[in-house]
A and B are shown apart, each in its own frame.
Chain A
C-alpha cells in the first residue's frame, strides 16, 4: 500500500520509479556533507564510491583473468606491466566521459543514442549490447563453474547459486544496498594481489620492468602474438558494456553535476584497483607459467595446473576463489547494464530502486538473458573458445559505434552545455578512440583468421 510520502514524492510516472529511495540516498549524502569530523568524511567517501569502482573491478572478469594470465605466461615480467598504467589512463579518459554524460543529462547511454540518433542506431546498440552481454555472461559462469570445481563444488550448485544471488540482489535490494553488496563482492577481486606475493617474484625485476628492462618481445612489436595480446588487453580494459553500465549506474545513483568531481575520484580508485589486480595476475603468471607451450593461448585448466605445480594447493584454491569472484561481480554488473539499457530503450520504469511489481519489464528481460547464459554453461562440453570468439567478434563490430556515439554526445552542446569536451580532451579522446578501434579490428580479424598476419 502506498504511503503518504509515495503519493507526494513518487507519483506514478515511469521516470520517477523508486524516487523515494533515491531521495533518501541523496538526503544521506547531504547530511554527511554537512557534518564535520573524520568519521563523517570517511562515511561520505564510502557512500560516494559506487559506479566507478564497480565498472573497473567488474572489468577484471573471468575472461580478463585469463587474458592477464596468458599475458604473463607469454611475456613474463615485461612490457605489459607498465602498459597497465597506460591502459588505466585510457580507461579513465573513456569512462570519465560517461560520468559527465550521465550526471548532466540524467539519462542512460542507450536512451541518449535512441533519442538523439534515431531508432536504427538505438536498435543496433541495444541488440549488440544485449547479445554481447549474454555471451559474456556465459564466460563469467564458465569461470564460476571452473573455479567451483577446483574447490570441490559441482557446477549444479555453483552456477544456480550464483544466478540466484544475482537475481536476488537485483530484485530484492534497493539501489544503495545492491551497490554495497556488489562492492563487497568486487573487493574480493583483490585476492589476486596476495597471490602475486605468494609467487615470490623477483621484485627487483618487477620494478625494473617499469624502467624498460625485460621488454623482450619475441618476433618484435609487430608480431602477431604481441599485437593480439595487446589488443586482448585493451579489449578487456574497455568493453562496450562498461560505457552503458557506468552511465546508467550514475543516473540510478542520482549523481548530479555537483558530484562529478567525487565520481571522478572514485573512478580513479576503481582504476587503481583494476591495475593492481591486472599487474598481480601478470606477475603471478610470469612466475608460474612463463615458458609454457602456447602460453598466449592457455585455458583456465592449464593456468590452474601451472599454479598448483609451482605454488601448491592453497594458492591454486585462492586463484579458483578469485576466478569465481571475477565471474560473479562481472555477472552482477553486466546483468544490471542489460536491464538499464532495455529499460531506457523502451522507456519503462528502470531503477533498481523500483519494486518488481512496478518495474517487472525492467528486471525480467535482463534476468532472462542471465538465466539463459547460466543454463548454457550447465550443458556438457561448453565451447568456451567459441564463446570467447563470439564475444570478441561482436565487440569488433560494436565497439567503434559505442565509442563514436560517446564522443559525439560529449561534443553535443545542446545536451551538455558547459560540460562538453574541451579541445584538449577531444584531441586526446579522438586519438585514443582511433587507436582503440584499430586494435579492436586487429584482434577481431586475428581471432577469426589466426593465420591472417603470417603466423
Chain B
C-alpha cells in the first residue's frame, strides 16, 4: 500500500466525494421519494377482494382457535 501524504489524501478524499456526489445526482439518491398516498378510490373488484380477505381471515382464525382450544391439534 502506497504511503500517501496528507495533501494527497485530501485530494483523493475530494475526488471520491466528487464521484459519490455525481452518482447521487445521476441516480437521484438525494431527491425525496414520491409520496405514497392511501388508496381511497378502490374499484368494485378490489372492494370485493378486501371483503373476501376479511372473511377468510375471520373464518380461519375461528377454525384455528377452535382447533387449539378443543385439543384437536396434532403437535
* Residue of A with least CB distance to B60: A397
Least CB distance from B62 to A in Å reads: 11
Q: How far is the CA of A22 from the CA of B28 in the complex (A)?
A: 13
- Count residues on chain B whose CB falls below 8 Å from chain A CBs: 30
Least CB distance from A423 to B in Å reads: 15
Q: How far is the CA of A60 from the CA of B33 in the complex (A)?
A: 35
Is the C-beta of B19 less than 8 angstroms from some C-beta in chain A?
Answer: yes
Given contact pairs A393-B64, A401-B53, A106 touches B33 in the complex (Cβ within 8 A): yes
Is the C-beta of B3 less than 8 angstroms from some C-beta in chain A?
Answer: no
Is the C-beta of A37 less than 8 angstroms from some C-beta in chain B?
Answer: no
Given contact pairs A115-B36, A383-B75, A397 touches B20 in the complex (Cβ within 8 A): no
Least CB distance from A315 to B in Å reads: 31
Task: Let me know if A26 and B27 touch, CB within 8 A.
Answer: yes
A444 / chain B contacts, CB cutoff of 8 Å: 60, 64
* Residue of B with least CB distance to A30: B23
Task: Let me know if A112 and B36 touch, CB within 8 A.
Answer: yes
Is the C-beta of A386 less than 8 angstroms from some C-beta in chain B?
Answer: yes
* CB-CB contacts below 8 Å: B13-55 with A: 13, 16-17, 19-21, 23-24, 27, 29-30, 33, 36-39, 46, 49, 53
Q: Which of A4, A22, A112 contacts B29 (CB 8 A)?
A: A22
Binary contact track A249-283/B, C-beta < 8 Å → 1, others 0: 00000101000000000000000000000000000
Task: Let me know if B75 and A385 touch, CB within 8 A.
Answer: yes
Binary contact track A88-129/B, C-beta < 8 Å → 1, others 0: 000000000000000001110001100111100000100000
Task: Let me know if A24 and B20 touch, CB within 8 A.
Answer: yes
Is the C-beta of A311 less than 8 angstroms from some C-beta in chain B?
Answer: no
B20 / chain A contacts, CB cutoff of 8 Å: 5, 9, 20, 23-24, 27
> Which of B23, B27, B38 has the most C-beta atoms of chain A within 10 angstroms of its own C-beta?
B23
Q: How far is the CA of A450 from the CA of B74 in the complex (A)?
A: 7
Task: Let me know if B36 and A389 touch, CB within 8 A.
Answer: no
Task: Let me know if A448 and B29 touch, CB within 8 A.
Answer: no
Q: How far is the CA of A418 from the CA of B2 in the complex (A)?
A: 49
Is the C-beta of A449 less than 8 angstroms from some C-beta in chain B?
Answer: yes
Q: How far is the CA of A386 from the CA of B68 in the complex (A)?
A: 11
* Residue of B with least CB distance to A5: B17
Q: How far is the CA of A27 from the CA of B24 in the complex (A)?
A: 9
B63 / chain A contacts, CB cutoff of 8 Å: 445, 448
Q: How far is the CA of A9 from the CA of B20 in the complex (A)?
A: 8
Is the C-beta of B11 less than 8 angstroms from some C-beta in chain A?
Answer: no
* Complex A-B: 6 CB contacts under 8 Å: A19-B24, A20-B20, A117-B38, A397-B61, A445-B63, A448-B74
